[in-house]
């Protein structure tokens, strides 16, 4: 069912990478007779050429080697850990949990991976959502309910608050991975003018504050600790510890 939902949302799959879980190996065995049938001589050549290009190639990790899937395992771990801490003892219905997971999915797919171009006037970053929908993740516009009692919109407000709490915690953890922390005795110049950076400031969910460095302000020792950044809303000055560089993809 998970595979059917994934294909329905994202389209046909050519290759699948997973561990050796029984649900994955069972799905691969279930699809194998279909694959053999489409490759058989009895099958019409025209349909064979059409369908074999859409068969799924399943790549399994070696047994007892979950670290081979470190890329997706790290993402699953971060979501599950923060989700447990966010939900606590709160009990959600299937509809509410599905809505929250959909919002979390959009949150993770909105993270900046790198600059789309080296153009100084381009403030857009490449995100996982670009590979899925060819555009950035978006959220529907919602009214501000901070001053309205929770009981008026209890269940809807609960999902919104849980997503906001998840966003704040996950954003801080992700931003820490973008900054190289070296010992204070070592210095590395990893920021340059016109570089696209992510400004570490509290924002609304799915909103990342991006800008281009205009200039660096070195101190008396020649080390730059402050940068002037051009954003879509204007020019700001920030310490470089609040700026996360994004490489050009």
For residue 41, the tally of other CB atoms under 10 A from its CB is 6
Question: pLDDT above 70 covers what percent of the chain?
Answer: 82
pLDDT at 130: 86
pLDDT tops 80 at residue 115? yes
- Per the prediction, the chain carries an average pLDDT of 80
Domain parsing of the chain, residue ranges? 14-60, 70-118+125-178, 196-245
Please give the helix or strand (H or E) that residue 202 lies within, else none. Answer: none
Could you tell me which residues are beta bridge partners of residue 248? 115
pLDDT at 63: 80
- The per-residue b/e assignment along 85-123, b for 16 or more CB within 10 angstroms, e otherwise, is ebeeeeebeeebeebbeebbbbbbbbbbeebbeeeeeeb
C-alpha dihedral sign at 37, 40, 43, 49:
positive
pLDDT tens, position by position, 11-29: 778 888 888 888 888 888 8
Over residues 90-103, the mean pLDDT reads 86
pTM of the model: 0.62
pLDDT tops 60 at residue 123? yes
More confident residue, 90 or 48: 90
Tell which residue, 11, 14, 4, 1, has the closest CA to residue 58.
14
| Cα–Cα dist 214/230, whole Å | 6
First CA to last CA across the chain, in angstroms?
35
Q: Work out the burial of residue 195: count CB atoms within 10 Å of its CB; fewer than 13 is exposed, 13-18 middle, 19 or more buried.
A: buried
Lowest mean pLDDT among 78-87, 107-116, 122-131, 140-149: 140-149
């Amino acid at each position: 069912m998970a595979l059917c939902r994934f294909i329905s949302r994202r389209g046909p799959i050519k290759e699948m990478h997973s561990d050796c879980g029984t649900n994955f190996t069972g799905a691969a065995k279930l699809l194998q007779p279909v694959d053999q049938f489409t490759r058989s001589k009895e099958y019409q050549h025209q349909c064979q050429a059409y369908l074999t290009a859409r068969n799924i190639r399943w790549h399994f990790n070696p047994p007892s080697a979950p670290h081979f899937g470190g890329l997706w395992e790290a993402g699953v771990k971060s979501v599950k850990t923060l989700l447990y801490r966010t939900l606590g003892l709160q009990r959600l219905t299937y509809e509410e949990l599905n809505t929250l997971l959909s919002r979390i999915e959009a949150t993770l797919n909105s993270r900046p991976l790198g600059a789309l171009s080296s153009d100084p006037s381009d403030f857009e970053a490449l995100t996982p959502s670009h590979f899925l929908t060819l555009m950035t993740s978006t959220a529907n516009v919602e009214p501000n309910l901070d001053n309205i009692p929770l009981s008026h919109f209890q269940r809807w407000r609960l999902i919104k608050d849980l997503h906001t709490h998840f966003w704040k915690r996950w954003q801080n953890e992700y931003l820490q991975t973008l900054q190289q922390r070296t010992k204070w005795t070592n210095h590395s110049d990893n920021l340059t003018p016109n570089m696209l950076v992510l400004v570490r400031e509290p924002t609304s969910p799915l909103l990342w504050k991006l800008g281009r460095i205009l200039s660096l302000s070195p101190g008396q020792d020649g080390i730059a600790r402050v940068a002037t950044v051009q954003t879509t809303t204007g020019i700001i000055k920030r310490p470089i510890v609040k700026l996360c560089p994004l490489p050009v993809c």
